[in-house]
Chain A
């Protein structure tokens, strides 16, 4: 069962709302072969760095390359794991602390596949997609985030 998947635009302007996430879950109720979903939500953390507190992250990306990499990751994930569907959304622009900046949603017939697949997708995104987070402090200074 191979179907052609076209590159999608993964980026959304601003934070990913809980309403959007709830809606995504609801949309899968008609896909009744699915037995297990797994969801990763990346949330902007109020990091304390040398006495200053992060208030928001401003995301930019090399969008063409990033969408190409997201597509490669999707294809690789579908070939490695037995998934029914997968959705990835990443914020661009300003996301305040406590808000969601990354939403990854994988679904399968059974649970074991979604546990493995979700970790794989998130780690691949962190390693291969040219997205940049500028951490804005409460005093309006900033530093460039580095993934650990």
Chain B
């Protein structure tokens, strides 16, 4: 009987302390870590079309189309198929593809989530967070590391 009362007292304590853990979402947004991996942002100006991101992508989410002169024509990324592993950002030598902290994206159909380079470019920064700022120190360790051959295709 004591145990039952203890249990009931515990829940009543929570009911009376008035604290809530959930937030009233659209009005109040929970904090997102600077390292959070959200929708991609792509910069055609930076991209050197080395295709490393396409290569490293574990589930063929990125599709790159180039012409005969190896000039980039299309950069397509299906953000509904992406598993947000951040490997594309990790291998990119010029920071042309980044994962913003933006987690709010919707589409009525799956097709709407297949982004081309224009749509990728227009992905907004989330609360003006620059993902590179939080990632820079470790990026140094990554870029230019390793003994093996670099496969630029």
Partners in one complex: no
Residues of chain A touching chain B, judged by Cβ–Cβ distance below 8 Å, are: none
Residues of chain B touching chain A, judged by Cβ–Cβ distance below 8 Å, are: none
